[in-house]
């Protein structure tokens, strides 16, 4: 799937990634920092969003690779975008792994009536925060390089043409 309704699929899919990855990360952080959130149904929503993010990542990357291959001599910023985009699979896998750990913690708390060891909670919280924050930063970095590759010179050209 490289073209959807005449547009490159990557352009459409990337918007899902830009929304889903940070949303998943924020839900994971909420689940780990506020145990009542984890004990409710949001932990399942978090797992579903992490799964969707994991599935969409290689699809989006492959669609971007197809678009990249259409360029004979890609600009350095486009190469940087492609390289950064290629790393997103690791962040998506980490988001999924963290969501699975949160579900396991959810079951452990139910089984032990909320008496999971404090050290375990702290370790899980540190890992979730690291994965969540780094995923949000990386999706920003990927998107910034992509936007620069498409719009970097265009705004200056439009301003010049407009006389402003």
What is the residue extent of each domain of the chain? 8-162
CA angle, corner 147, sides to 65 and 92, nearest 5?
55
pLDDT at 73 over 70: yes
pLDDT at 5 over 70: yes
Query: Stretch 110-137: mean pLDDT, rounded?
Result: 86
pLDDT at 163: 73
- Structure pTM? 0.88
130 pLDDT band, cuts 50/70/90, is: very high
| Helix then strand then coil, % of the chain, to nearest 5 | 85, 0, 15
114 pLDDT band, cuts 50/70/90, is: low
- List the beta bridge partners of residue 4: 7
pLDDT at 37: 82
């Amino acid at each position: 799937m490289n073209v959807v309704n005449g547009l490159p699929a990557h352009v459409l899919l990337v918007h899902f990634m830009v929304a889903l990855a940070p949303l998943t990360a924020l839900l994971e952080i909420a689940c780990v920092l506020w145990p009542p959130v984890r004990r409710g149904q949001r932990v399942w929503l978090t797992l579903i969003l992490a799964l969707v993010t994991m599935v969409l990542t290689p699809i989006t990357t492959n669609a971007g690779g197809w678009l990249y291959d259409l360029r004979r001599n890609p600009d350095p910023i486009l190469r940087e975008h492609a390289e950064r985009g290629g790393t997103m699979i690791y962040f998506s896998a980490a988001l999924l792994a963290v969501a699975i750990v949160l579900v396991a913690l959810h079951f452990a708390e139910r089984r032990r009536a909320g008496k999971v060891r404090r050290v375990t909670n702290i370790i899980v919280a540190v890992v979730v925060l690291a994965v969540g924050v780094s995923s949000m930063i990386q999706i920003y970095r990927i998107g910034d390089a992509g936007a620069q590759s498409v719009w970097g010179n265009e705004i200056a050209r439009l301003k010049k043409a407009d006389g402003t």
